[in-house]
């Protein structure tokens, strides 16, 4: 009792050792995570600046596009826990399975490649000899998503 009343101890000297170690490690992990996120934001910011300036086209620059995809993968790896990974892998596995089957069926060869050309699921199913509902389910994870054509908010 005399030690506490006569000394000017800091909070860290009074806290139990395990709590202090947990606090310090938690802070270290949080700061490391924040630094990694800052780095990704900086890299993505540079790419966004180049895209806005018209000096980079992600549609034609495969290396840059794959670099952006890699940054996305890094972000996922940084912010998810190992038990979260399965939730992200299941849609990817479905996508790979659909692509594999569709390649075997030569389905991609049956899709028109001209700008603005389209084919219905029924016609595509008839060409590859598959069921329309199966084709539509298989292509759901493969179909390209629409690109945002809206202007950036001011």
- The predicted structure's pLDDT at residue 75: 92
H helix runs in the chain, sequence order: 2-6, 11-14, 17-53, 62-79, 85-104, 121-128, 132-139
pTM: 0.54
Q: What is the overall mean pLDDT for the chain?
A: 77
pLDDT tens for 91-107 read 888 888 888 888 888 88
Give the residue ranges of the chain where pLDDT is below 50: 1-18, 20-21, 146-154
- Residue 124 has φ and ψ, to the nearest 5°, of -65, -45
User: Domain segments of the chain: what residues?
Assistant: 7-79, 82-144
Of 135, 89, 87, 91, the C-alpha closest to 111 is 135
- The predicted structure's pLDDT at residue 62: 92
Helix (H, G, I), strand (E, B) or coil at 140: coil
- The predicted structure's pLDDT at residue 9: 45
- The predicted structure's pLDDT at residue 23: 52
pLDDT tens for 15-32 read 444 454 455 555 666 778
Which residues, including other chains, have CB under 8 Å from residue 140's CB and lie 6 or more apart? 98
């Amino acid at each position: 009792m005399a030690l506490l009343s006569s000394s000017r101890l800091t909070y860290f000297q009074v806290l139990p050792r395990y709590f202090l170690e947990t606090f310090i490690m938690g802070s270290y992990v949080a700061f490391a995570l924040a630094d990694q996120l800052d780095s990704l934001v900086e890299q993505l910011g540079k790419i966004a600046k180049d895209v806005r300036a018209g000096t980079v086209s992600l549609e034609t620059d495969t290396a840059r596009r794959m670099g952006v995809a890699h940054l996305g993968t890094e972000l996922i790896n940084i912010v998810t826990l190992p038990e979260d990974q399965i939730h992200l892998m299941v849609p990817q596995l479905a996508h790979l399975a659909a692509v594999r089957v569709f390649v075997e069926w030569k389905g991609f060869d049956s899709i028109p490649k001209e700008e603005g050309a389209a084919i219905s699921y029924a016609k595509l199913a008839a060409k590859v000899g598959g069921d329309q509902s199966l084709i539509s389910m298989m292509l759901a994870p493969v179909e390209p998503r629409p690109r945002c054509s809206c202007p950036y908010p001011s």
